[in-house]
Amino acid sequence: MKNILKKAVIPVAGWGTRLLPATKSQPKEMLPIVDKPAVQYVVEEAINSGIEDILFVTGRGKRAIEDYFDYAIELEKELEEKGKTDLLQVVRGISEMVKFFYVRQKIAKGLGDAVFHAKDFVNNEPFGVLLADDIIDSQTPCLKQMEEVFERYHSPVIAVMEVPESETYLYGIVSGERIEHNTYRVNDLVEKPDPAYAPSNLAIVGRYILDSKIFNALQNTLPGKGGEIQLTDAIRDLLQEEEVYAYIFEGNRFDVGEKEGFLKANIAFALKRKDLGEEIKKYIKEITETLD
């Protein structure tokens, strides 16, 4: 399959209030899931989906992300001198994964505004948007699954999952006509509706494939939910111009931007590790037994 999606945007300007106080003086995206910062899982998903250029939309207090994906000259020298070649390879490999670009969102005006900052970077090509709060554990990377839908319909694709009706107020919600087992043609989108007003229970997860038409829509999008420029609202405007598809992805999604999802992700990824899995499983069994 020819890879037509080469660019991805990862907005990382958000505050991380749901993980305070841990995020008071460090980016939430740098908190570790086992031994890698959360954002690295998302970067790896992008790379494993064929992405070659990644733009981070950053903000104040997010310099640690830039440093992480840069060379760490002193550290590398130290590891080299001490003959710790395995670690040296890990550390250097991180800065050579892919081409990284950065732009700063000076005022946090919402996800739509963050994506608007990618206009010059995108330069009329289709592009992926990956929200760093959503880590998706799947056999085929989620973005890759979506690329197949994009190639079939040549239109924007949003990842969705079914949620309990009582939880619609936490997500952008889409409704549409089912055209394939896992795919819908979207006819409406609402950002975080109360359950009484939700058009369905199909919730947007932080993965999008968009094209440059979104920038015109964003330019005209007024502040919506929470007084912010919402990407959901801009995609809704886009429906007047082109079709948009929603795809129920295969995989497990963790919202690592809040405590429960963050802890669950740590447990799930630790259990999958060859060097940790058995021990952690044994430990969970032990402590849960003492709780009963």
Binding interface with ligand G1P (CB under 6 A) = 111, 131, 133-134, 171-172, 191, 203-206, 230-232
CA–CA separation, 280 and 263 (whole Å): 13
SS3 at position 129: strand
Q: Nearest 5°: phi and psi at 179?
A: -115, -15
Cβ 234 to ligand G1P shortest distance, Å: 11
* Complex with ligand G1P: residue 88 or 114, whichever CB lies closer: 114
* Complex with ligand G1P: residue 167 or 278, whichever CB lies closer: 167
The closest of 58, 52, 18 to 39, measured between CA atoms, is: 58
* Complex with ligand G1P: residue 79 or 254, whichever CB lies closer: 254
The closest of 260, 257, 263 to 111, measured between CA atoms, is: 257
Cβ 222 to ligand G1P shortest distance, Å: 15
Cβ 16 to ligand G1P shortest distance, Å: 11
Residue with tokens 């992805």: 249
Structure tokens at 16: 């991380």
Q: Give the number of other CB atoms < 10 A from CB of residue 69.
A: 19
* Complex with ligand G1P: residue 88 or 117, whichever CB lies closer: 117
CA–CA separation, 91 and 76 (whole Å): 7
Cβ 92 to ligand G1P shortest distance, Å: 32
Structure tokens at 77: 């020298």
* Complex with ligand G1P: residue 113 or 133, whichever CB lies closer: 133
Cβ 169 to ligand G1P shortest distance, Å: 10
* Complex with ligand G1P: residue 37 or 172, whichever CB lies closer: 172
Cβ 239 to ligand G1P shortest distance, Å: 15
Residue of minimal Cβ distance to ligand G1P? 172
H runs (alpha helix) in 57-184? 63-68, 73-81, 85-95, 111-116, 119-122, 142-153
